[in-house]
Structure 1
Amino acid sequence: MSSCHTSTQVDLKNHSDKIKLVLVGNPNVGKSVFFNALTGIYVDVSNFPGTTVDISHGVYKNYVVLDTPGVYGVSSFNDEERVARDVILDGDIILNVVDAVHMDRDLFLTQQLIDMGKRVIVALNMMDDVKRNGLQIDVKKLSELLGVPVIPTVAVNKQGIKELKNTLETASTGNSISGIKELMKSIMPKVSNPAEALLVLEEDENIIERNHIKEKYPYREKIYLQRRKRVNEIVNSVVTETTNGASFKTRLSQLMLKPLTGIPILLLTLFIMYQFLGVFIAQTVVGITEEIIMGTYYNDSIMSIFGPLVKGYDFLEKFLVGEFGILTMVPIYILGLLLPLVIGFYFLLSILEDSGYLPRIATLVDRVLTKLGLNGRAIIPIILGFGCVTMATITTRILGSKRERFIATMLLGLAIPCSAQLGVIAGMISAVGPVYFTVYITTIILVFVLAGTLLNQVMPGESTDLLIDIPPLRMPRVKNVLSKTYTKSMAFLKEASPLFVIGAVLITFMDHFGILLSIQNAIAPLTEGFLKLPKEVATAFIMGIVRRDFGAAGLFKLAEDGMLNAAQTLISLVVITLFVPCIAAILVIFKERSWKESLLIWFGSMFIAFLVGGMLAFVLV
């Protein structure tokens, strides 16, 4: 069958007798240096028909050399990938440039090129970085496992370039993953070459349409997982770690990834974060912003201006300047109590992100999270959940299966307090002493672990493998950290303010017409009898449905007024932490998950929250 796409689709009429040598690699691996080394000044640039993507091509001996956009795989998700795919399909030899330090990432593309049946030669570039990163690579064994020539290079210094040039004709088809050729047999009569047959198996819609294939071949996920497993096996076989010649950052990175040293480093990091957020921000800073600036100066000004105007108008007075007033409680809670906590959390999170430590945490906890039905990548939405559960729920899309996304969403909605709620909790729990603090932390972790373990046992399937790129460690850039902190804090203000106003109006309405008192009396057997808490705590729980930090702030007020003793403070904080997600989060959960799953998360959280709170009350009160 003849090919349904034109030859390379760039103007190569004058080079039709030459071998097409195609440069392929991930972004930023140094392909342009190889292209320049091969073609020199004999370079032309053509616009790929139907796109804005330019293709550089030139001549080297009896080869016409074509550069391609940097891609992570041969597919058709955007113009760059479609152009790279079509040039690769028409190429005779593929020069695959691989970053030696990030082979776990780059070899996925290498193995795909081999699976396509292409003649491949690998330029293992940036070998000078290998030693600095505390690595040793068995290049000979790598070549044997891949089944293609592998030439170590440092392209910017022209090291290995001459050997590469002399070895181009030895490019070979390599060792494809097990079983792939058998799957391709049934497709071969319908396409023009093995490469297209593989792309049909990998559900490339353009190739399927181009070859007028009607049958379904849903093998992409299976092939990708098998290819990833194969790449991991190769990397584990040829790469070893060493401290000889490694920089301090590299040695520190290695220590962060090993459980024996990585766990103490992580615990130290969490302790520093607690001291900054739970002690300095929640107690010292909030003491100034909430009690002095907003609670005294702002509140007194508002009361002196609006108090006389609304005096005698009972509902209006409650609505504007009452206990839940939109001019009193709302700005005091948002600006005085919550905003400093949110800024503090996002400042810490931005440091973790910008330093490159966050993916190292993911790698470190991968084995633990696997027991909960997740993999290390789930640490990203979990950590983001401490900022905002709503955003973290959306981020669960990065997880590899529907099963993992449900487990992560359930654990986020159940046991992860958002930043503002966490700050209030930290401030309250630190005030009742280390014993209750330890009980709180232990309880929440136990619920998190038991819930995840149970879901992992009862839900069919297994957790997927961890696929994550680990960037180099670096000092966080002040500009980046401040920019991320500002952007995310402003997003919090925009999201939280309307919901707080709605919550204040709702609570004021319910309080004015006696609905709040009726609810308190109705669930008094639960709050007073089972949880052994004042019935006013029910108001905080209702406020928590509007927004979780709103409910935590309500508990903060009750504690300030002396209505909760130390044990009751602990119980109420455990319940409000495990309580149902706020309205914004639950709406996103309903959007991301099915109705059945979302309702299970909602009612499951409520049931577990009161059950655990009741058990604590039975023991402590």
Structure 2
Amino acid sequence: MHCHDIATQLKNVPKNAKKIVLAGNPNAGKSVFFNAFTGMYVDVSNFPGTTIDISYGKYKDYIVIDTPGVYGVSSFNDEEIVARDIITSADIVVNVVDAVHLDRDLFLTQQIIDMGIPIIIALNMMDEAKAQGIEIDVDKLSQLLGVPVIPTVAVKNLGIEEVKNRLEEAKVGNSDPELQSKLAELLKQVHNRAEALLILEDDPHVAKRHQMEGAKLREEIYTKRRQRVNEIIDQVVRDTKTQSNFKMKLSRWMVNPLTGVPILIGILYIIYKLIAVFVAQTVVDFTEGYIFAGLYEPFIRGIIGQWIPENSALGTILIGEFGVLTMTVTYVLGLLLPLVIGFYFALSVMEDSGYLPRVAALVDRVLMKLGLNGRAIIPLILGFGCVTMATITTRLLGSKREKFIATALLGFTIPCSAQLGIIAGLITPLGWKLFILYVGIIFIVFVLIGTLLNLFLPGESTDLLIDLPPLRLPRINNVLKKTWTKSYAFIKEAGPLFALGALLIGLLQVTGALDMLIDAVAPITTGLLKLPKESAVAFIMGIIRRDFGAAGLTSIDMTPLQTVLSLVVITLFVPCIASILVLFKERGIRDAILIWGGSWILAFGVGGIMAALLL
């Protein structure tokens, strides 16, 4: 897509609309400004990637477009490509800059200035800069850059109105004369200063668009830009800190492996108690067991049953055990919604406090060995709540390769919270030795899959480029807004898929295909896995719902080692039908078939090895 066409590709954006583009590094506060301009809520996150979808709205006669948080305009990853094409189409750029990390953020500022796009700077988080002993000469900074600079504290609504009132003062700033002379020559061919700069910086997409070769000057231009930013910082910033405070010490402890790992384990334990114990048991017992299974399902069966017999084909599909109007509603609203709200609440607290980027930094080195970077910790943690939800959040990863690896690890090895609760109930009475055996096998498989995929998948994974925002107490309004927005978006997107899954199950039931599948799997369970024949039902039910499969094992008489083997297989077994549908939607047919088919081979393969060695 041509950069000047991207804005007009958005719904309801007039072709000749004057565009204000919000640009800035991750965590600078762009989304707060977007909300202030348009009145629309956008996820306000401390973790890069949460605004990867393009958001836009109207302010007076302008169209305001948000961009992903990036450190520079280029084509290194999907976020930068999206940001590049939107920024180069802008009439005015409102550059939101983090005052605490001015030396980092001004690189993007200077690059936009070099592009010749009118710009106005919102120097945000001035309160946090002051708290950390950082003094900034705002007038001097404005003079050196040649553009308006307005100090703001966006979360307290300070300075935002001044930014709005001074939009028309946006102008092209001061650029390096030597760079301008090189651009002048290239402008005779390209006729667009922003794209001419990107060609000089060897952007392959823009160069190809103009049927040209990149000028191979990226390193030279970047080095000089960095030097200019450093010179500006030396003139406008004064550090008055005399000693580090507790927050700074705590921040260092969180990213140091010796102290960070125990802190992470402690926080994950709290989250486990909140989600897996309180929500998954107490809350879900009430919502799923009492409200929906106890009240709603008998009510809806009573109404529909007056017109359609429950044991008829249509009745089975609508109000049967796996009915569209029974299981789907109970599962989505009674079971899934409380878990989703719980996990997004915990995630929002971690985001808003500034802890989540520190977790990413802490685990980055380990995850790199699996072909991922620290950013992947989010879907992996979410997978313990719901693999379907976690698969959707792999969108925030930087490359298709990373998305495939993360999705495969989720589908193969991560049990969801509903399944996890039943697994815990089955394995706890067996003693700690068998518990360690179960956890150890799943962990080994997790590491082997990630290592092998990293070794054999073509391409390279992206590096983790992340800043560590100041630690702060979470703002309850912001946490609740994010929790509600994310939960609603997930249910809105996943709900229809669950309904489709229930419809497919109903069709399998009424056609007899479900029984045929159970009979087909039975020889594998009794022969290869050396398990009772009845366990085949549990595996087939696991396709429908992962916790159904695990729950199906509770009524089967097995030895302790058979129980451990069956739990390993049910954990590695194919994702539930809702996750499968999301898998096809997110990864495409080819990748989804590879992951889905691979999970069958993996589950029964590992189970067969265990059976041969242990039984």
Q: Which of the five TM-score ranges fits, normalised by the shorter chain?
A: 0.5 to 0.7
Q: 1:439 to 1:129 in 2, by over 3 A?
A: same
- Which residue in the other structure is 2:540 paired with? 542
User: 1:279 is matched by which residue type in structure 2?
Assistant: V
| Map 1:266-277 → 2, pairs under 5 A | 266-277=264-275
1:215 aligns with 2:211: yes
After superposition, what is the alpha-carbon deviation per residue over 1:481-524, rounded to whole angstroms, capped at 9, x for unaligned? 33444444445555565555554554455445543333222221
| Cα distance between partner residues in 2 of 1:506 and 1:374 | 34
Change (3 A) 1:516 1:534: farther
- After superposing the two structures, state which structure 1 stretch, 471-480 or 253-262, moved more: 471-480
**Residue in 1 aligned with 2:111?**
112
For 1:243 and 1:439, how far apart are their aligned partners in 2? 51
Deviation at 1:196, TM superposition (A): 6.2
Query: Aligned pair in 2 of structure 1 residues 587, 534: CA closer, same or farther (>3 Å)?
Result: same
Counterpart residue number, 2:375: 377
Residue matched to 1:32:
none
Cα deviations across residues 330-363 of structure 1 (Å, max 9, x unaligned)?
Answer: 5555555444433333332232223222222111
TM-score of the two chains, using structure 1 as the length reference: 0.64
Change (3 A) 1:612 1:28: closer
**What does residue 403 of structure 1 align with?**
401
Compared CA separation, residues 223 and 443, structure 1 to 2 (3 A): farther
Query: Matched residues in 1 for 2:191 and 2:306: separation?
Result: 85
Corresponding residue of 1:265: 263
Task: Check conservation: 2:288, 2:334, Cα contact below 8 A.
Answer: yes
CA distance in 2, matches of 1:376, 1:334: 30
1:443 and 2:441 are equivalent in the alignment? yes
1:347 and 1:604 map into 2 onto residues whose CA distance is 33
Percent identity among equivalent residues? 54
Q: 1:457 Cα shift?
A: 1.7
- 2 CA distance for matches of 1:173 and 1:453? 46
How far the C-alpha of 1:106 sits from its partner, in A, is 0.5
Alignment of 1:185-224 (within 5 A): 187=186, 190=189, 197-201=196-200, 214-217=210-213, 223=218
Does the C-alpha gap of structure 1 residues 399 and 510 become closer, same or farther in structure 2, counting only changes over 3 Å? closer
Alpha-carbon distance change, 461 to 77 in structure 1, aligned in 2, over 3 angstroms: closer
Q: Structure 2 CA distance, aligned partners of 1:442 and 1:226?
A: 50
Cα distance in structure 2, aligned partners of 1:318 and 1:112: 62
Aligned to 1:477, which of 453, 475, 478?
A: 475
Tell me if 1:616 matches 2:614.
no
- What is residue 278 of structure 2 aligned with on the other side? 280
Distance 2:288 2:535 in 1: 21
Equivalent residue of 2:85, what SS?
coil
TM-score after normalising by structure 2:
0.65
SS at match of 1:523: helix
Take 1:134 and 1:612, find their aligned partners in 2: how far apart are those partners?
A: 57
Q: Supply the RMSD in Å over aligned alpha carbons.
A: 5.6
- Who is 1:65 aligned against? none
SS in 1 for 2:450: helix
Is the CA contact 1:282–1:426 (under 8 Å) kept in the aligned structure 2?
no
User: Structure 1 residues 193, 317: CA separation in 2 closer, same or farther (over 3 Å shift)?
Assistant: closer
In the alignment, structure 1 residue 551 sits paired with structure 2 residue 546: yes
The one-letter amino acid paired with 1:215 is Q
266 and 482 in structure 1: CA distance in 2 versus 1, 3 angstrom threshold: same
1:266 Cα deviation from its structure 2 partner: 0.7
Distance 1:400 1:601 in 2: 20
Aligned to 2:358: 360
Which of the residues 327, 334, 340 maps onto 1:342?
A: 340
Q: In the alignment, does 2:592 pair up with 1:598?
A: yes
Over 3 Å counting, the alpha-carbon distance change for 1:469 and 1:325 in structure 2 is: same
Describe the superposition over 1:401-449 as per-residue Cα deviations: whole angstroms up to 9, x where unpaired: 3333332332233223445444554555556554444433333332222
Deviations 1:106-154 (A, max 9, x none): 0432563798799xxx9999898558449999xxxxx9xxxx99xxx99
Offset, 1:269: 1.1
CA distance in 1, matches of 2:396, 2:265: 26
2:344–2:486 Cα contact (<8 Å) kept: yes
In the TM superposition, what is the alpha-carbon distance from 1:197 to its structure 2 partner?
3.7
Structure 2 match to 1:82 = 90
Paired residues in the alignment total: 519
Whole-Å separation in 1 of the counterparts to 2:324 and 2:534: 20
The one-letter code sitting in structure 1 at the alignment partner of 2:197 is L
Q: Which of 511, 528, 531 is the matching residue for 1:530?
A: 528
Deviation at 1:155, TM superposition (A): 6.8
Q: Secondary structure at the match of 1:468?
A: coil
- The reply to whether residue 578 of structure 1 matches residue 569 of structure 2 is no
Measured in 1, the distance between the counterparts of 2:539 and 2:291 equals: 27
Secondary structure of residue in 1 paired with 2:472: coil
CA 1:262–1:192: 2 relative to 1, 3 Å:
same
In the alignment, the residues of structure 1 paired with residue 457 and residue 311 of structure 2 have an alpha-carbon distance, to the nearest angstrom, of 57
- From the superposition, tell whether residues 437 and 302 of structure 1 become closer, same or farther in structure 2 (CA, over 3 Å): farther
Question: In structure 1, how many angstroms separate the alpha carbons of the residues matched to 2:223 and 2:585?
Answer: 31
Deviations 1:567-616 (A, max 9, x none): 44443443333233445544554455464433322222221122223333
Q: How far 1:265 sits from its partner (Å)? A: 0.8
Q: Measure, in 2, the Cα distance between the counterparts of 1:478 and 1:79.
A: 33
Secondary structure of the corresponding residue to residue 82 of structure 1: coil
Matches within 5 A, 1:106-505: 106-109=105-108, 112=111, 129=128, 132-133=131-132, 173=176, 187=186, 190=189, 197-201=196-200, 214-217=210-213, 223=218, 245-291=243-289, 323-324=321-322, 333-422=331-420, 424-425=422-423, 429=427, 434-491=432-489, 493-494=491-492, 498-500=496-498, 502-504=500-502
Alignment gaps of 5+ in structure 1: 1-23, 30-50, 55-69, 88-95, 138-142, 157-170
Q: 1:321 to 1:204 in 2, by over 3 A?
A: closer
Distance 2:96 2:510 in 1: 71
Change (3 A) 1:83 1:334: closer
Residues 439-472 of structure 1, C-alpha deviation per residue, up to 9 Å, x if partnerless?
Answer: 3333333222211111222234433221224333
1:83-106 Cα offsets, whole Å, 9 max, x none, are 358x9xxxxxxxx99645224640
* Cα distance between partner residues in 2 of 1:191 and 1:614: 63
User: Any conservation in 2 of the 1:53–1:83 contact (CA below 8 Å)?
Assistant: no
Supply the distance in 2 between the matched residues of 1:399 and 1:108 (Cα, whole angstroms).
23
Which amino acid in 2 is paired with 1:414? F
1:351 and 1:442, CA in 2 relative to 1: closer, same or farther beyond 3 A? farther
Query: Quick one: distance in 2 between partners of 1:317 and 1:123?
Result: 60
Aligned partner of 1:447: which letter? Answer: V
Greater Rg, structure 1 or structure 2? 1
Q: 2 CA distance for matches of 1:188 and 1:309? A: 74
Paired letter, 1:101: V
Whole-Å separation in 1 of the counterparts to 2:224 and 2:417:
37
Q: CA deviation at 1:306?
A: 8.2
Partner SS, residue 463 of structure 2:
coil
CA contact 2:384–2:414 (8 Å) conserved in 1: yes
Letter in 2 for 1:373: G
